[in-house]
């Protein structure tokens, strides 16, 4: 299995949903910089964010918004190909492409708890 770089490219999007402070990476987790008890594993956050991006891109309106921000058209077949297997995606999709998608599509991610997040997309 290839060594996976840390998904720190998400850090600028992750906020505490309790106090709205940016969350910082501390080891293998994102933690509230203001000290709230909210923390979430980095790997869980990456998986959750990409599942939601996949769902966002599975509808025509999401693909249209993505095309405007990415500067390229995304067909439904492209989305299925990219997101059909999250394990393969997380392991083999190039970090630069993940960063490009995140910067184009994400406004911010509010973390209420490790099991409750609200993702704001750029529309």
User: Over pLDDT 90: what percentage of the chain?
Assistant: 35
Q: Can you name the residues that pair with 40 across neighbouring β-strands?
A: 30
For residue 1, tell me if it sits in a domain.
Answer: no
* Residue 38, domain member (yes or no): yes
The whole-chain average pLDDT of the chain stands at 83
pLDDT in tens, 28-65: 999 999 999 989 999 889 888 888 888 888 888 888 88
Q: What is the mean pLDDT of the segment spanning 90-111?
A: 86
| 3 falls within a domain | no
Q: Measured between alpha carbons, how far is 32 from 121 in angstroms, rounded to an integer? A: 21
- Check residues 78 and 114 and name the one with the higher pLDDT: 114
More confident residue, 93 or 84: 93
Indicate whether 84 belongs to any domain: yes
Q: Which residue has the higher pLDDT, 82 or 14?
A: 14
Total number of domains constituting the chain: 1
pLDDT at 6: 54
Tell me the residue range of the domain where 18 lies.
10-121
Is 88 buried (19+), middle (13-18) or exposed (0-12) by CB count in 10 A?
A: exposed
68 in any annotated domain = yes
């Amino acid at each position: 299995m290839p060594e996976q770089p840390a998904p720190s490219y998400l850090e600028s999007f992750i906020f505490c949903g309790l106090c709205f402070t940016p969350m910082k990476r501390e080891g293998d987790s994102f933690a509230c910089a203001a000290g709230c008890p909210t923390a979430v594993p980095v790997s869980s956050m990456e998986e959750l964010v990409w599942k939601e991006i996949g769902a966002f891109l599975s509808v025509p309106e999401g693909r249209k918004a993505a095309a405007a921000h990415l500067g390229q058209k995304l067909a439904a077949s492209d989305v299925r190909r990219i997101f059909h297997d999250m394990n393969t995606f997380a392991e083999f999709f190039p970090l630069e492409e993940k960063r490009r998608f995140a910067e184009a599509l994400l406004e911010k991610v509010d973390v209420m708890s490790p099991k409750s997040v609200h993702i704001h997309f750029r529309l």
